[in-house]
Amino acid sequence: MFYNGVYHLFYQYNPKGAVWGNIVWAHSVSMDLINWKALNHALYPSKPFDKFGCWSGSVTIVPGKGPIILYTGVIDTNQTQVQCYAVPEDLKDPYLRKWVKPDKFNPFLVADKGVNGSAFRDPTTAWRSKDGHWKILVGSRREDRGMAYLYRSKDFRKWVRAKHPLHSSSNTGMWECPDFYPVSLKDKLGLDASVDGSHVKHVLKNSLDVTRYEYYTVGTYIQEMDKYVPDKTSEDGWRGLRYDYGNFYASKSFFDPSKNRRVIWGWANESDSAQDDTRKGWAGIQAIPRTVWLDSSGRQLVQWPVEELNNLRGKEISMKNQKLQKGDIVEVKGITAAQADVEVTFSISSLDKAEKYDPKWVYAQDVCAQKGSNVQGGVGPFGLLTLASQDLVEFTPVFFRIFKDSKKYVALMCSDARSSSLKSKLYKPSFGGFIDLDLTTDKKISLRSLVRAMINLIDHSVVESFGAGGKTNILSRVYPELAVTNQAHLFVFNNGTEPITVENLKAWSMKSAHIH
């Protein structure tokens, strides 16, 4: 949240080890979303209603009252979950260091008849409807059906469950960390959660416990009926839209009134072993915070790293009009490739050699695994080889490939960790996502739009990529052994028969953020 000039990040944390358990709400503060200071934990098990864990939730800034934390408390070893609240001990403290859990009205929600008490968690930020009622969602499931239960309150103390969930979907399993917020149809500005009207759409995001990926739909919120209806262009299930097609889960958005933007935070867990995490002494990171808005098509969201990240940019180098024939690999020299920020624009003279698209392809990740960066194609694969050793024994390619359907061209983006490390006992997937682009009007310009302003943030064990200006995004966790510090290299490459031109590339060595 942003409150009285300070950003607050609360996050699930185990103070006793680098494995899951003993969950508290850790608390850090920042003035710019990049440099952070850790404080004492905001919440930790201390009451009968959270004796076995203070699980995830949200903060709502209530006019006249200030910030109120809503969170899931665990009351027994069966993981029975209830919803609880906490308030700052001293609103005059600029960092809100201490939080209290009043006994009155706590817990404020207990699973009633028909609600699964062991699958009942992660209350959302509240919004206020036109009738003056506050409303929240709580994630749940009924057998295999994912649920977003809706609760109403007049005073933010006593809450009543609505007759029907705001939305549900069959065969999706437990809905964790639901998020529900409006997005503007007119511009990129973010909106407070309570904004409604004909000038907005709404987004419902759920983290699916079964797949460990996040899915969202864009749709219409019918406030009078407390019902959400996804647009026909938003598939409501496992094949739907995702914030990120890589290692990105349990995300949370908030409205930042200081810059009128909505910012998304996502969690990236480790891809190495629990033993590795114990040896490191930590597990899991926060991704770079992202500004989010509705694409001009109205069909999907667009994300981009917050502008404050640019303050970490150091030395800049550039490359222009570099032509890449089939098999060409050209090094981008002059920066610290182990910690870099790269923006590149590619262009193609012709799409005639695009490979045939197979309509049986359902998941882009499977296509990326089948057609990796070393598999020659027509138009692509082309892109970047990040965190690469000099001899390319280790490298993480982020690349594009164009296919031709019966009516249109289909763009694929991949981030492939299979060659990222010499370590054998790692989860090294080939992540991928299709990109919603019209490539029929002007082949050169459209294809440039596909990868225009593509950015990779590379920070030792992370390659976080944003394709087509943030339409398709992939975060990969990688653990190179050779391509580290000054032994890491960055290359552009083309392994397609169609020549590719690097029209413009800019890259910066990145300074480290200050984490106290």
Residue 456 has a pLDDT of 54
Instruction: Please determine, for residue 448, whether its predicted confidence score (pLDDT) is greater than 70.
Output: no
Burial class (CB in 10 A: 0-12, 13-18, 19+), 379: buried
pTM equals 0.95
Which stretch of DSSP H or E encloses residue 501? strand 500-510
Residue 446 has a pLDDT of 28
Residue 458 has a pLDDT of 58
Instruction: Please determine, for residue 79, whether its predicted confidence score (pLDDT) is greater than 80.
Output: yes
On whether the CB atoms of residues 505 and 319 are closer than 8 A, the answer is yes
CATH superfamily ID and name for 316-510? Exo-inulinase; domain 1 (2.60.120.560)
Domain boundaries along the sequence of the chain: 2-305, 316-510
Tens-digit pLDDT profile for residues 492-510: 999 999 999 999 999 999 8
Q: What CATH class is the domain 2-305?
A: mainly beta
Strands (E), 75-114: 81-88, 99-100, 109-110
**Which of 163-177, 382-396, 445-459 shows the lowest per-residue confidence on average (mean pLDDT)?**
445-459
Reduced to 3 states (helix: H, G, I; strand: E, B; else coil), residue 406 is coil
**Which of 261-275, 308-322, 429-443, 475-489 shows the lowest per-residue confidence on average (mean pLDDT)?**
429-443
On whether the CB atoms of residues 476 and 247 are closer than 8 A, the answer is yes
* 2-305 matches 316-510 in fold: no
How many DSSP H helices and E strands does the chain contain? 3, 37
